[in-house]
Structure formats: structure tokens, C-alpha cells
Amino acid sequence: MKDIDQAAMSPDDWDEMISPRPDVQDFDRVVEAAISRRGFMNGVIAFGSGAAVMGTSMLKGTTAMAGQSDRFAFEQLPIQTDGTVHVPEGYEWKILVRWGDPLFSDAPAFDATTGIPTEGSDRVFGENTDGMELFNIGGGTELLVVNSEYVNTTTNLPQNEEGKVASAEDVLRLQNFQGVSVMEVTEGENGWEVVIDSPYNRRIHHNTPMTIDGPAAGHDLLKTEADPTGTASLGTFNNCGSGRTPWGTYLTCEENFNGYFGATEVPELDEATAAGFIRYGVNTEVDPNRYNYHGFDARFDISKNPNEPHRAGYIVEIDPAKPDSTPVKHTALGRFKHENAAYALAPDGRVAVYMGDDERGEFMYKWLSRDKYVPGGDTSTLLSEGQLYAARFNDDMSGEWVALTPAATGMDAAQIAIFSRMAASAVGATTMDRPEWVAVNPTAVEAYCCLTNNKNRGVKPNAGGDDTSANGPNPREENNFGQIVRWRPDGDNHASNTFEWDLYVMAGNPVVHGDTAYGGSANVNEGNMFNSPDGMQFDTTGIMWIQTDGDDENEGEFAGMGNNQMLAGDPVTGEIRRFLTGPNGAEVTGLTWSSDRRTMFVGIQHPDAPFPDGEGSLPRSAIVAVKRSDGALVG
């Protein structure tokens, strides 16, 4: 079964399979069975003046919600279950770029049934589009920077049985399709397109040279035979969500990096390394796994290079305006399965970066720069020195960012940077339901995180043995639907160590589960229901856009939810309205806007249907450009 399924599995399912959690669980609390949808939302703290509105509308339920449409310029799109993209009336979409489309004129042509050959596989747009950001670098030049999270081996190696890697050339092809694509985009008569051969176009992949900086740089655990300094590595891995800085750089976030490593013989590991591999899910068994890089590229063989996995799992900064610049892995921001990175400036100019660790029962983090951001000043080391914190949520709706210091954790600064999960466990951080994207509201001092789902909540501890009983922001056992937590820092200051929190929404199925916690909060109804919130971005008007990566079978627990989708959320009233649906099997992930705010770019990852080219063609992840038919602003 393992071999049959692995090539088609999502990275998350794959990760769960290769690093199963312990079965034993001794949780001592459960969600109160009596929690009602109203009762739950009643219990949630309500913030500021908008809170009264939110509380009222929640209590009145769907009738009141349906009347509040002022902030949305569209009518709700019904669910869809087909193989293409849908948007509401008055909007239209077009393909901007598909996996395998050329970034350079010397790129090989895409074959509709076999894809792209190895030669030139680093000259095309990567596979499985994910986080992205658009940068206007002046002179009318717009650069779209996009993550390519992973590869489907059966699609890319159609000549091999079950897509199994069989040569170094196969490995290179897979490595080239992942990482980051930088590409100039422009809008002409036929809509948006990539500027082929732009001097800014660039592929960053699994072999691109990187600098390692911050507290772990040069540490023994980061040294390898090829890099005895521990400050230079090759490649960035499993690039999931994105972030940006106020100074115009792109942040790519290394998520399930563990899946690229394996062993050709039983590795001999020191204690710290062995413990880290367990906590981070690096497979130490001799087994040709999903990618089997290690079978043909010794860098990924932990029996030969046990420190190589310590060089992945970071936030990586890329300057898109400088095509020759070397990306920097910032160890200061911690090592875990990074989803995305959302910055907020503190009143004094320090930079706060909020981050989630997407694994069942792992944590949420904040990092605060030591130095202040001064527009026009030197920003080259702003992300190099600062303090990492992990979130502790209290059931009384308060919370704190607990500093991961040597005194608090018993670890030194480099160990905290490399084994951040263990540091957060040491201070009793709150185990979360798979933190995915964080987003910061530009119109209020508050931030949000999608807690996508957690089938293990109340069932198993995390890989560090931390209890995962139901807790305040994660109130449901065997949580298949997910929720979005919101926090407001005390003193309206993102540098503050304390905050108040509530749940913006608990996804659920009110038709199947009625007035229970699994029916969702009161801003979820038969018309707008969804599961597994994942991607999230605010537009400039303060509307929150929510993207889903969930079960799209549209039956059982998920009946009535249709394909994965993108919804708009009003932070003040709590209203949520469906805006876009993806093709069968696809996740909707990645969202950014053109600088004139008349186009939104939306990512479609891992479609099952032959999207977008129709019957007989390979399914291709793609970015679509969505506009209003009348050309008005879209955010």
C-alpha cells in the first residue's frame, strides 16, 4: 500500500505516513459535549466596537448574516464540483502561467502527456504553485515571485514504474521543478503574461547556493563535508507559504523538508541529531522513499551526511530585484515546518514576524527583530538578530508570547534556532491544530492564523510527547474542519508579549452536525460552509481572503462543501462569503495583487482534473488572474 499510494499523496499525508505519532495518549480533558454553536460563540471574547456587531450577528445566526453584504462587491458563488475554476458574476479569470510554461525562450516545449524533460527543467515555471507575492520594483516593472512546493513523481517520471526515481537524472528533474520562480509579468491586450527572457526571471531550486546566517550559522550541527563552515548550503525545500518584507524582499518558507532525506544504510547518529530526526520526522530507516534523492545524491543520504537536514526548515530571504543575489537562510527565525511569514511593524520600528509550524500539535511563533526598520536604511541584517517566541494561549482568552531564551529552555542560542520545536515544548507552548497561514490586518492591530484541522487532537500527543487535549483555541477533538484564531497584542503593539485572542470562525457542517461544535460557529451556514482553511491574505481594504485545502469529496462530513475554494471574510461582522472555487482535487493556495489592485492572482495547486487544458492533457498547477469585468478594483 505504501508504494502504491506514495507518489500521489499530498506532502502532509505523506509526512504523516512516514512519521506516525505514538499511539498512547493520556489526555485529561475533552471538549464539552454540551458546547452549542451559540454557546461557544457567546463565550468568545468580543473585541472593541466591532465586537458588539460581531456578537450580535453571530447570535442572530444566518438570517442576520445574509443581510450584511456592504463590504463585498459580489454575490456568493454556490459550491462547485467540476474540473475548472469559477468566480462570481461580474468577474472573469484567465490563466497567467502553468507548471512547465517557459520563463526563457530556450526552455523545452511542454508535452501534453509527458511534461518537461530533464534538460531545461530549470528554465520553466515550477510545479505545484503555492505562496506568492508581487513586487513593483519601479519603472513599471512588476515581478511575481512564486513558490513551487513539491512534485508529483508519477506525473514527472511517466517512463518509470509508479513514478519511482531510478537515476540521478530523475532526481535532478524533480529538484529543478521545485523551489521558487521569479518572473516579470505584464498586462497586454490578451491579459497578463510572463515576460519571457526578462533579466529578472530566475529559477531557485534544490541546488541553488544559499547563505546561512543567524545564531546557528557555523554551528557544528550545520557543518558538512562539502561545507565545513556551516554557513553555505544548496537549495531551498518544500517552499510552502510566502511572506514579504517592508524593504521589498521575498520570504519563502521551508515546510516538509524532512521528506527529501533518507538513508542507504543504518545511520550512526549522535543523541541530539537522533532526537531531532524523531521530532522533525526525518526517516532514518533504510528505505527508498517518495523522492529517493538519497539513492542517487549523497547529500540527501543521512547515513553519509547526517547534518544536511539541519540546513533546511528555515525562512529564506530572496531579493527579486537582484537576480544575482544569494538567498539567505535566516536561522534566527527558527527551524520548523514553516508555513508562511507575516510581518507587522511595531510602533518603534522593530519588525515582528508571525509564523506557524504546520504539523498536528505543533506551535505558533513570533519573532521580533533587535534592530529597527528605517526606510531607506540598511536592511541586510534586520532578520539576522532578534528574539524568537512561542505562543501560549490561556483558556481565559488571554495569551502570551514566551521568549525562547537559554534561561527558559536550557538550550543555547544555536540549539534554539535548530531545534525550535524542542525549545517551544520546554516552555509549555500551546499545541495547535496545524497552524497554516498567518495574516496581519492592515486596518486594525490584529493578526489571524488558519488552524487547518487535526484528526489527532485529543487522540495522540505530538512527536515531542506534548499533550494535545482540547484547549482554548483548539476546542474540538478529532477536528476535521479547522478554525481561524485571531489575536490582538496588548497596547496595540505587535512587540508586546501579551495578547487577547478569540476564534474568528470555527468551520463545520451545520447540516450534518446541527447546533454542535462540529456544526461550526454562527458565521458558518449551509450556503458558505467549507473545511480546512489554509491560505490567507488581507487586501488593502481590510477584507480577509481565506483559501482552503481540505476534503473535496462533497459527501459525509463534507457534504455540501464542494471543491476547495476561496472565500472573503469581514473581520468586523464575521461574515464569510464564497468567491472562487477550484477544479476537482485542487487546493487553492497563494494570493497576491497587481500593483494597480485591478487583478488578483490566485494559485491552483495539484488539480486532479485535466486542468486547464482539457481532456487528454496532464493536470497542471497554475496561477489564474482574476479581474472584474468592468475593470474596477479587486482589493
**What does the alpha-carbon distance between residue 99 and residue 623 come to, in Å, rounded to a whole number?**
9
Does residue 362 bind ligand FEO (CB under 6 A)? Answer: no
Taking the complex as a whole, the smallest distance from the CB of residue 358 to ligand FEO amounts, in Å, to 4
Triad 448, 450, 456: Cα angle to 5°: 140
Q: Which of residues 511-550 bind Ca ion (CB under 5 A)?
A: 534, 549
Residue 297 interacts, among Ca ion, ligand FEO, none and using kind-specific CB cut-offs from 5 to 8 Å, with none
**What does the alpha-carbon distance between residue 551 and residue 558 come to, in Å, rounded to a whole number?**
7
Nearest to 318 by CA among 210, 475, 201: 210
Hey, how many other C-beta atoms are within 10 angstroms of the C-beta on 41? 25
**What does the alpha-carbon distance between residue 153 and residue 171 come to, in Å, rounded to a whole number?**
10
- Interface with ligand FEO (CB under 6 A), residue from 15, 358, 433, 575: 358
Backbone angles phi, psi at 309, to 5 degrees: -65, -20
Residue among 88 and 533 whose Cβ is closer to ligand FEO:
533
Does residue 342 bind ligand FEO (CB under 6 A)? Answer: no
Which stretch, 139-147, 268-276, 299-307, 436-444, contacts Ca ion (CB under 5 A)? 436-444
**What does the alpha-carbon distance between residue 532 and residue 455 come to, in Å, rounded to a whole number?**
11
For ligand FEO (CB under 6 A), the number of binding residues is 6
Cell numbers linked to 572:
468586523
CB 234 within 8 A of CB 298: no
For cell 480577509, the residue is: 544
Residue among 11 and 214 whose Cβ is closer to Ca ion:
11
Residue among 133 and 534 whose Cβ is closer to Ca ion:
534
Does residue 575 bind ligand FEO (CB under 6 A)? Answer: no
Nearest to 303 by CA among 260, 275, 336, 261: 261
Residue among 230 and 243 whose Cβ is closer to ligand FEO:
243
- Interface with ligand FEO (CB under 6 A), residue from 433, 436, 477, 570: 436
Taking the complex as a whole, the smallest distance from the CB of residue 429 to ligand FEO amounts, in Å, to 18
Taking the complex as a whole, the smallest distance from the CB of residue 562 to ligand FEO amounts, in Å, to 21
SS3 track for 525-543: CCCCCCCCEEEEEECCCCC
Taking the complex as a whole, the smallest distance from the CB of residue 441 to Ca ion amounts, in Å, to 20
Cell numbers linked to 406:
537559554
Taking the complex as a whole, the smallest distance from the CB of residue 434 to ligand FEO amounts, in Å, to 7
Which amino acid is present at 125? F
Taking the complex as a whole, the smallest distance from the CB of residue 456 to ligand FEO amounts, in Å, to 15
**What does the alpha-carbon distance between residue 63 and residue 60 come to, in Å, rounded to a whole number?**
7
For cell 474568528, the residue is: 504
Taking the complex as a whole, the smallest distance from the CB of residue 128 to Ca ion amounts, in Å, to 7
Nearest to 573 by CA among 14, 55, 18: 55
For Ca ion (CB under 5 A), the number of binding residues is 3
Residue among 524 and 604 whose Cβ is closer to Ca ion:
604
Residue 255 interacts, among ligand FEO, Ca ion, none and using kind-specific CB cut-offs from 5 to 8 Å, with ligand FEO
Residue among 273 and 340 whose Cβ is closer to Ca ion:
340
Tell me if residue 243 falls in helix, strand or coil.
strand
The CA radius of gyration of the chain, in Å to the nearest whole number, is 23
Taking the complex as a whole, the smallest distance from the CB of residue 601 to Ca ion amounts, in Å, to 16
DSSP secondary-structure letter at 100? Answer: T
Which amino acid is present at 188? G
Taking the complex as a whole, the smallest distance from the CB of residue 362 to ligand FEO amounts, in Å, to 11
Residue among 259 and 569 whose Cβ is closer to ligand FEO:
259
**What does the alpha-carbon distance between residue 230 and residue 570 come to, in Å, rounded to a whole number?**
46
Nearest to 470 by CA among 33, 28, 31, 35: 31
Residue among 295 and 590 whose Cβ is closer to ligand FEO:
590
Residue 317 interacts, among ligand FEO, Ca ion, none and using kind-specific CB cut-offs from 5 to 8 Å, with none
Does residue 255 bind ligand FEO (CB under 6 A)? Answer: yes
CB 261 within 8 A of CB 308: yes
Taking the complex as a whole, the smallest distance from the CB of residue 452 to Ca ion amounts, in Å, to 5
Taking the complex as a whole, the smallest distance from the CB of residue 195 to Ca ion amounts, in Å, to 27
Tell me if residue 436 falls in helix, strand or coil.
strand
Does residue 127 bind ligand FEO (CB under 6 A)? Answer: no
Does residue 433 bind ligand FEO (CB under 6 A)? Answer: no
Does residue 184 bind ligand FEO (CB under 6 A)? Answer: no
Does residue 240 bind ligand FEO (CB under 6 A)? Answer: yes
Residue among 358 and 502 whose Cβ is closer to ligand FEO:
358
Does residue 339 bind ligand FEO (CB under 6 A)? Answer: yes
Q: Give the residue nearest to Ca ion (CB).
A: 549
Cell numbers linked to 251:
520570504
Tell me if residue 125 falls in helix, strand or coil.
coil
Taking the complex as a whole, the smallest distance from the CB of residue 339 to ligand FEO amounts, in Å, to 5
Which amino acid is present at 374? V
Residue among 433 and 436 whose Cβ is closer to Ca ion:
436
**What does the alpha-carbon distance between residue 467 and residue 479 come to, in Å, rounded to a whole number?**
15
Q: Which of residues 376-405 bind ligand FEO (CB under 6 A)?
A: none
Does residue 317 bind ligand FEO (CB under 6 A)? Answer: no
CB 633 within 8 A of CB 139: no
Taking the complex as a whole, the smallest distance from the CB of residue 389 to ligand FEO amounts, in Å, to 21
Q: Binding pattern to ligand FEO, positions 576-615, x when CB under 6 A?
A: ----------------------------------------
* Distant-in-sequence, close-in-space partners of 25: CB < 8 Å, separation ≥ 6: 458, 459, 460, 461, 468
For binding to ligand FEO (CB under 6 A), which residues are involved? 149, 240, 255, 339, 358, 436
- Binding positions for Ca ion, rule: CB under 5 A: 436, 534, 549
